[in-house]
Amino acid sequence: MRKFEKISFEQFKKDIKDDLELYNSYKLPSRSTKDSAGYDFLAIEDFVLKPGEIIKIPTGIKVTMGNNEVLLLLVRSSMGFKYNVRMCNQVGVIESDYYNNPSNEGHMWIALQNEGNKDFIVKVNEGYAQGIFTTFLVVDDEKLINKERVGGIGSTNQKGDD
């Protein structure tokens, strides 16, 4: 089943803050129109991104999906076009095995950089990123892979079973 979920309150306290009211108030990503491809990620709290600055934004969200699916995280089109704000890694790639990983429950973060010349201001419940689900293919002659994810961001580079 493909769906967004909030991280647990315990993970929220660790990554964001110990605030149950804030935890209960933020929203899961959703599409804005019936033909939208992207699910809009909304700000949990206000933030300001100054020119030249990079910030890492906790989404408070994890996602479950099929084994042959991936969630691509991108900035909203207008942010790059109008404000020269970009994701630091350009496209975030979230695989199905990131969900409920042992180090951060699959909590997705988004790193933004302001390459423009004025502050980029986002208010609570305003969209700043979008996620697009898609399927992927693998080669037919691929050898059996037994390695499993052992952590969060960057963990596929860690040693595991080969």
For 41-92, what is each residue's pLDDT tens digit? 999 999 999 999 999 999 999 999 999 999 999 999 899 999 999 999 999 9
Average pLDDT of span 3-12: 98
> Rounded to two decimals, what is the model's pTM?
0.87
* pLDDT at residue 35, rounded to an integer: 96
Instruction: Say if CB 107 and CB 14 are below 8 A apart.
Output: no
Q: Which of 147, 142, 143 shows the shortest CA–CA distance to 162? A: 147
- Taken in order of first residue, the domains within the chain and their CATH numbers are 3-135 (2.70.40.10)
